[in-house]
Amino acid sequence: MQNPAMILDAMQPVGDIYKAAFSGGVPKTTLDLVHLRASQINACSSCVDSGARNARKSGETDERLASVAAWRDAPYFTDEERAALALTEATTRMADRSDPVPDAVWDEAAKHYDEKGLAALVLTIAVTNLFNRLNATTKQVPQDWSS
């Protein structure tokens, strides 16, 4: 089946939320990494593919894209990006622990991002998880979504 958001004409409002996240002052490269990491966790092949494509178009390097799944051990990420990726993992894996987003994870992110930046990260993570669930459930295949 086609993506449910397309069937029910919900792509525009969901896209508007995604666009709003880009107004929070967080670098696009960071938001691209957040999108890619959440999509990897959720095994959404179409979102991993589109996320990597978009990140490459924005100038992201192959080394960083290949290492985002192992960001803790890879030397390519800034402290700010690491905080965003930790928040991404905690928010995406909420059911995996009794304290879904531990204070230490939140506090580390808050050291690097102001309230608008945190809002941008949380919205990006949430919308990515929405797309992951829509696409993985309906078995969407990777494609160039820009056309």
Which residue bears the tokens 């995406």? 92
| pLDDT score of 30 | 97
Tokens of 138: 């309906």
- Is-contact 18 127, C-beta < 8 A? yes
Say if 75 falls within a structural domain. Answer: yes
CATH number for the domain that contains residue 55: 1.20.1290.10
Q: How many domains does the chain fold into?
A: 1
| pLDDT score of 147 | 47
Say if 57 falls within a structural domain. Answer: yes
Other Cβ atoms within 10 Å of 110 Cβ, number: 15
| pLDDT score of 144 | 57
Strand, coil or helix: what is 62? helix
Give 10-residue mean pLDDT values along the chain (147 residues): 84 90 96 97 93 93 96 97 98 92 97 98 96 90 63
Q: Rounded CA gap, 15 and 6, in Å?
A: 11
- Is-contact 61 111, C-beta < 8 A? no
- Is-contact 50 147, C-beta < 8 A? no
Say if 92 falls within a structural domain. Answer: yes
pTM of the complete model? 0.91
- Is-contact 63 32, C-beta < 8 A? no
- Beta carbons within 8 Å of 58's beta carbon, 6+ residues apart: 28, 29, 32
Strand, coil or helix: what is 58? coil
- Beta carbons within 8 Å of 144's beta carbon, 6+ residues apart: 50, 53
* Residue numbers of the domain that contains 48: 11-137
Say if 61 falls within a structural domain. Answer: yes
